[in-house]
Amino acid sequence: MTTLPKTFLESAIAVLCVIFTCCGCSDKGNFTPAATDIDSSRVITARGVGEYLIGISTLEEILGTDSSEMRKRFADQGLNFEFDRGKELTGVTVSSRDYALENGISVGNTAEDVRDNLGEPLDTKIELRPKQIRLDALAYDDYMFLLDQTDNVIAIRIGR
């Protein structure tokens, strides 16, 4: 089982709030078009999402000030950011189907779609500490796909 760093806990809780209010919104088997059809600012890569780059972008560049209003603005767009000591971007959790990997995988795809495109995952469960919450997920070297009870992707996390 993959254990996520403590910095992931706050973002995961925020994403879970979005997920639980959105659980029924994904359509099984509704595959997203290839990312070439998606604006480059909405492409998810191992390095980041659009212009938001892991290890390069900073809290100040992205949010300006770390306020609940700014975080909510991005959360409403399906982006939750994690920062190291409030400065450097260390992770992004995407909960909107408006963003996709270069191969077209996005929120709303099935676990089968992910496996067909990325192969077998390193792990299929994640544990959020210290709450000991276990979630179904597909964990790869660069991506973590959180799944709902029907095996649909409800969030994609990248980062360290």
pTM: 0.76
pLDDT at 142: 93
Beta strands in 2-152 (DSSP E): 2-3, 43-45, 48-49, 52-53, 79-84, 88-94, 100-101, 123-128, 133-139, 144-147
pLDDT at 93: 97
pLDDT at 127: 80
pLDDT at 14: 47
Question: Domain 2-159 is in which class?
Answer: mainly beta
Backbone dihedral angles phi then psi of residue 81, each to the nearest 5 degrees: -105, 150
Q: What is the mean pLDDT of each run of 10 residues along the chain (160 residues)?
A: 50 45 40 55 95 95 91 95 91 97 96 97 84 87 94 94
Angle subtended at Cα 99 by Cα 95 and Cα 85, rounded to the nearest 5 degrees: 60
